[in-house]
A and B are shown apart, each in its own frame.
Chain A
Amino acid sequence: MLKKRNHLTLSLIAIAISFVVASIVMLLSGINPKIFFLSLFRTMTGVNLQAIGKENFFNARYLGEFIQISLPIMLTGLSVGFAFRTGLFNIGAEGQVIIGGVGAVIIGVLFKLPWIIHIPLAILVAALFGAFWGWIPGILKAKFGVSEVVVTIMLNYTALYLGNYLIKALPGSDNQKTVTLASSALLQSDFLRSITGNSRLHWGFIVVILALIIYHFIIEKTTFGYELRAVGFNRDAAEYGGIKVSSRIAYSMAIAGAFAGLAGAMLSLGTFDYGRVIGAFENYGFDGIAVALLGGNTALGVFFSGLLFGGLKSSQSLMQASGIPLEIANIVSALIILFVAMNNGLDYVLDRLEARKRKKNETN
């Protein structure tokens, strides 16, 4: 059967349905959905619709925070999406973020360099650390056929504990964090802070924009991207066409890891200014799976779905302040994923509705 609706249409419908279902859930638990939507809108635009006309109806701090929170999950979205395009499921973005972040911290703690070298070096090392962490499951898959899903899940835990060990081992670290990183390595900006009401917005957004462009370019425009997509859809045919399948699998996982490693740099050099010992996963990698799925594994899709999930994530504090439990935002996220995953069924339901409508028009 021919596919008639594209991913964008179905995704928008999925989002709409999940908002409706979430509203029902809220009504059932005695919460006014209006507050939810107002909070979400305020988070993503800075505009408080209830205070329009009043002096402080706009607060740029919300906008800055919203973008800042969206940055790492866009990158993990690219990470998961890149592997998806090669037919691989990178559940390891979580670990790659941690290891990448540690890489950036090491450069930030140990070196004293002019910023023009220090920042790019820290970012590059983060990408390389992440790439290495992605390459391990990639090469195991390529050479021995080991499931990348299993290996990446195990490497997430390895990354969590190895990362904490390395953070604590750096000179001057205590049990919670490292010393403050050299300011020449940081993405933080007083200027960006000042125009966004003291939010944590940092220069990392430039890195993310570049990453989105690079992703699109590699996947859609290069012979390498063509090979990756071919391997992703049909390994046998790719091999028949002369493509070195196992090397492409290893490369793909390494590049996916590099994108996640960059997300680690965003956190270590932008959101924070020190390396942190973390007690548990912070879900940046898992958010990336959702972002990639909704975004259809394209750069533009990941950008917009990153904004949506970033908005839901960053609106949680505002919602909590208005008495909405933070689980509501999680429920909405989960519903979106559920309905996007159901897009075939959705397509079918829409078909039936259209057919019924047509019949009605005919009989009238």
Chain B
Amino acid sequence: MDNYVVEMRNITKVFPGIIANDDVTLQLKKGEIHALLGENGAGKSTLMSVLFGFYQPEKGEIYVRGEKVDIKSPNIAHELGIGMVHQHFQLIDNFTVVENIILGDEPGGFLVDYDKARKEVIALSTQYGLGVDPDAKIEDISVGMQQRVEILKVLYRKADIIILDEPTAVLTPQEIEELVEIMKNFAAEGKSVILITHKLKEILAAADRVSVLRQGKYIGTVNVADTTEAEMASMMVGREVNFKVDKKPANPGEKVLEIKDLWVKDQRGLDALQGLSLYLREGEILGIAGVDGNGQQELVEAITGLVPIEKGEILLQGQSIVNERIKSRINKGIAYVPEDRQKRALIMDFRLDENIILKSYEKEPLSKGHILNQEEINKKGNSIIEEYDVRSSEGIDTIVRNMSGGNQQKAIIGREMDLKPLVMVASQPSRGLDVGAIEYVHKRLVELRDQGKAVLLVSFELDEIMNVSDRINVIYQGKITGNVIPEKTTVQELGLMMSGSKEVDLA
């Protein structure tokens, strides 16, 4: 028998209406980095919550270092040397790094022995190359550093089985590389790491083995050295995945949306857009490439009417819309898939059907004379669910909070496409989604384009911009600094334009 440090055998965990884990087995070797791969809602988090003592499984057994254990609470998990770094940090902003790390496990008796704690934290930080300043306050350090504080918390509690839940979601590419190094240090020291993720590139870079879950079921475990991105992707989604977006050449028509010399201030009162101009034609997808914070947010919110503009013109089919209210812009044909879907696009405590009518509840037949027609609303909800393949445990009666991110996004896209818009503004539409859902989103955007609609795609992912767009505009410091065709440019060239060191207008 292999010497597994953790063995979860035949775990089944049922929630009302959903089998979150169905006979799942996970075997973790000592000193390995083991990736747990699956789409959103595949049951990764549930499985780890079982291991960490948040949930009790209905069936199955857990062995830690060969001994059968009953993990009733996170405290027991701690005692067994299991530590978890959560996706959402649990830190106190105005405490220092050391104070945060020792919180709940303070050394010394009645008086806290800060010196001892500080020395221990510094020792750990040096040992694993974390480079954390022990005396800095959390609010003053970067998100990447905050994550390392979370990791230190786990190390401080002497964990040698470390679970990292989607750790790279908040990191820059540079920080991701450093994190991979840190994980490898752990493995070299004999600690075992479980890496929860849906990003294939990271698995290839960091992990030794990968276990795949799909719809709550265990699909298999493979050695990373013997597999490819394509194989992992098809295990994860259950079919071949097309990384290349399938589309015919664009056939652009008239200009639908035209923006001239647009000035918009950001929340701090600084000029976020400084005389931005662009146009968007029927039947094309215009990708807006740029580093986050160069005015993308202000651009999409100015078009949709969520922020006031200082000066400039926004023309929809030649008519100015700058003085129109949000609702009137919606009715004139501007659809919007916002970047922050849970904050902007969804009412998380509403049912699915109530979210689906968010932009159309005043239209007949959904309501008549201010009275809602629930029968028609149900019909509308069900037709969207069916057409856009939105999956949820209780159909249109599901509270949106209980749905997976991918299905939430499908519902938003369904709602917006159902408006039959002239212009679709999509801001980071694939953010936080898994491979299958990303493919879905791209397919739908191309479908809109093929119907002759105009799509404005804002994304920070250059791969997405290059694959999906028919034309690319680069945004830098509130202005368009490049207008190029994806076939005639390179990522390197885009990169130069995104940093303001080059301006190109080819298209």
Give residues in A with beta carbon < 8 Å to B.
Answer: 1-4, 221-224, 226, 229-230, 233-234, 236-244, 355
Contact = CB atoms under 8 A, between A and B. Distances in A.
Closest 8 CB pairs of A and B: A242-B327, A241-B358, A242-B326, A234-B347, A233-B347, A233-B349, A223-B370, A240-B344
A230 B350 contact: yes
Given A4-B16, A223-B372, A226-B361, A237 B367 contact: no
Interface string B77-90: 00000000000000
A230 B354 CA distance: 9
B225 interface: no
Contacts of B330: 241-242
22 contacts: A1-B15, A2-B16, A2-B402, A3-B399, A4-B16, A221-B372, A223-B362, A223-B371, A230-B354, A230-B358, A233-B348, A233-B350, A234-B343, A237-B343, A237-B344, A237-B345, A238-B347, A239-B326, A241-B358, A242-B326, A242-B330, A244-B325
Nearest to B362: A223
B255 interface: no
A237 B325 CA distance: 15
Contacts of B421: none
B358 A222 contact: no
A224 B336 CA distance: 23
Nearest to A241: B358
Interface residues on B, range: 20 to 34
Contacts of A222: 370-372
A3 B399 CA distance: 10
B358 A237 contact: yes
B367 A223 contact: yes
Contacts of A355: 56
A226 B372 contact: yes
Contacts of B306: 239-240
A91 to B, nearest CB: 23
Nearest to A217: B371
Contacts of B336: 240
Interface string B11-23: 0000111100000
B445 interface: no
B48 to A, nearest CB: 14
B359 interface: yes
A229 B372 contact: no
B82 to A, nearest CB: 20
A251 B434 CA distance: 42
B338 interface: yes
A244 B305 CA distance: 12
A230 B347 contact: yes
Nearest to B49: A1
B465 interface: no
Contacts of A1: 15
Nearest to A218: B370
